[in-house]
């Protein structure tokens, strides 16, 4: 069926998105074809635009469309507070809570003996550099409350000990919970009640 080959190829690509299997990819593609003027064509253009322009911030690891992201570029965000998160989804979750006014540092994961992820695989050396270079007075370790997240928190706290105030999110983050799943109020409460390590 040659004329459906292009549609099958689109379904195969869609099925590679997280959370979509073959069946939901087929449903999504049929929906897109039905709304090809209102949704499929705009989505194609927006994807191409993002594919052409998106990049990771060379300083913090956030995604944006410039080499240095808006948060790192903004003098208003130079509060001396640096919030360390595992990935960009967590940074976005923090931003949605609207309570943090400093800058971020995205590690890109956690230390993991099992997966052979050491400090060099993450952005930990860059973090240590930034604490000096940007005159950071407080590092807020906002990693997930998982075993690997907490291992990473303690590793970074050891590295920075005596050089800067080190805090971590306290109240409201459930054991085993991931930041990106929490509501904004919970994140706000956890940030306000942060405690010294």
Q: Which residues bind a second copy (CB under 8 A)?
A: 1-4, 6-7, 9-10, 13-14, 16-20, 23-24, 26-33, 36-37, 39-51, 53-54, 63-66, 69-71, 87-89, 92, 180-181
The answer to whether residue 111 forms part of the interface with Zn ion (CB under 5 A) is no
Closest contact distance (angstroms) between CB of 103 and Zn ion is: 7
Strand partners, 81: 138
The three-state secondary structure class of 186 is helix
The answer to whether residue 84 forms part of the interface with Zn ion (CB under 5 A) is no
Pattern 54-83, Zn ion, x by CB under 5 A:
---x-xx-x------x--x-----------
**Which partner, Zn ion, a second copy, none, binds residue 72 by CB below 5 to 8 Å per kind?**
Zn ion
Q: Which is nearer to a second copy, 70 or 158 (CB)?
A: 70
The three-state secondary structure class of 1 is coil
| Alpha carbons 138 and 140: distance in angstroms, whole number | 6
| Alpha carbons 178 and 95: distance in angstroms, whole number | 15
Q: Which is nearer to a second copy, 19 or 162 (CB)?
A: 19
Closest contact distance (angstroms) between CB of 186 and a second copy is: 15
| Alpha carbons 196 and 169: distance in angstroms, whole number | 9
Q: If you search the block for the tokens 């992820």, which residue do you land on?
A: 117
**Which partner, a second copy, Zn ion, none, binds residue 110 by CB below 5 to 8 Å per kind?**
none
Residues 101/79, Cβ–Cβ less than 8 Å: yes
Within 8 A by CB and 6+ apart from 147, the residues are none
**Which partner, a second copy, Zn ion, none, binds residue 92 by CB below 5 to 8 Å per kind?**
a second copy
Structure tokens at 131: 């604490």
């Amino acid at each position: 069926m040659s004329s459906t080959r292009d549609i099958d190829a689109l379904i195969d690509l869609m099925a590679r998105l997280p959370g979509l299997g073959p069946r939901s990819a087929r449903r999504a593609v049929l929906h897109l074809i039905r709304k090809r003027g209102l949704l499929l064509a705009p989505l194609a253009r927006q994807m191409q635009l993002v594919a052409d322009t998106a990049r990771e911030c060379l300083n913090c690891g956030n995604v944006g469309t410039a080499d240095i992201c808006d948060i790192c570029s903004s003098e208003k965000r130079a509060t001396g507070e640096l919030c360390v998160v595992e990935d960009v989804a967590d940074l976005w979750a923090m931003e949605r809570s609207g309570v943090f006014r400093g800058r971020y540092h995205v590690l890109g994961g956690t230390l993991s003996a099992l997966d052979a992820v050491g400090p060099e695989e993450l952005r930990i050396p860059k973090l240590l550099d930034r604490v000096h270079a940007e005159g950071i007075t407080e590092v807020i370790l906002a990693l997930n409350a998982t075993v690997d997240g907490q291992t990473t928190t303690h590793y970074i706290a050891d590295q920075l000990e005596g050089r800067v105030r080190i805090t971590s999110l306290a109240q409201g983050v459930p054991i085993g919970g991931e930041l990106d799943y929490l509501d904004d109020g919970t994140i706000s409460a956890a940030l306000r009640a942060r405690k010294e390590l």
